[in-house]
């Protein structure tokens, strides 16, 4: 049926994998991309899909790199795919919050406590989007 205009682009799984590959391709250890939502409406096995939603979470601690890598390739590829399929694609950022850093006084206190007890430790980036990021909006993490 060539006149059909299914709203689910072929290769939805490929799109999710491309996002992940593009994040890995930056060769930056702080870059991750996760596809957490893929919905097709109306969600019935015998219905032509009217729309689809794919949510991709891109996290990079360098804001300039995040903004350039997360948006430009997606827009161009989405427009090309939409034109080929005769459908509309909308890219919509949900959040674009800056990363939050923990104050050196806190990091130093944790480091000293670990060393005093002979515990191993290492600094690391938490990419979890909760707790410290939301609290940093209320008060500097000092």
Q: Is the pLDDT of residue 9 over 70?
A: no
Structure tokens at 36: 């957490």
Q: Report which of 31, 38, 30, 48 is spatially closest to residue 14, judged by C-alpha positions.
A: 38
Pick the CATH number of 12-85 from 3.30.70.360, 3.60.20.30, 3.40.630.10, 3.30.470.20: 3.30.70.360
Using 50, 70 and 90 to split pLDDT, how confident is the model at 113? Answer: very high
Residue 49 has pLDDT above 80, yes or no: yes
- Assess contact for 124 and 86: CB atoms under 8 A: no
Does residue 122 register a pLDDT over 80? yes
- Rounded Cα gap, residues 18 and 36, in angstroms: 14
Pairing of β 51-59 and β 32-41? antiparallel
Task: Give the residue, 31 or 133, on which the prediction is more confident.
Answer: 31
Distance (Å) of CA 140 to CA 12, 23, 66, 76? 40, 29, 23, 38
Q: For the chain, give every domain's residue range.
A: 12-85, 104-138
> What is the pLDDT, as a whole number, of residue 56?
82
Confidence of residue 119 (pLDDT cuts 50, 70, 90): very high
Q: What is the pLDDT of residue 131?
A: 63
Report which of residues 101 and 137 the model is more confident about. 101
Task: Give whichever of 8-17, 53-62, 108-117, 131-140 has the largest mean pLDDT.
Answer: 108-117
């Amino acid at each position: 049926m060539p006149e059909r205009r299914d709203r689910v682009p072929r290769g939805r799984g490929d799109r999710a994998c491309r996002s992940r590959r593009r994040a890995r391709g930056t060769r930056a250890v702080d870059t991750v991309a996760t596809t957490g939502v893929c919905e097709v409406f109306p969600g019935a096995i015998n219905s032509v899909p009217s729309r689809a939603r794919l949510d991709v979470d891109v996290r990079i601690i360098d804001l300039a790199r995040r903004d350039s890598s997360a948006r430009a390739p997606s827009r161009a590829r989405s427009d090309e795919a939409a034109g080929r399929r005769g459908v509309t694609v909308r890219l919509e950022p949900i959040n674009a919050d800056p990363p939050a850093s923990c104050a050196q006084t806190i990091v130093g206190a944790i480091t000293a406590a670990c060393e005093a007890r002979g515990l191993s430790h290492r600094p690391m980036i938490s990419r979890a989007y909760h707790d410290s990021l939301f609290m940093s909006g209320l008060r500097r993490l000092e």
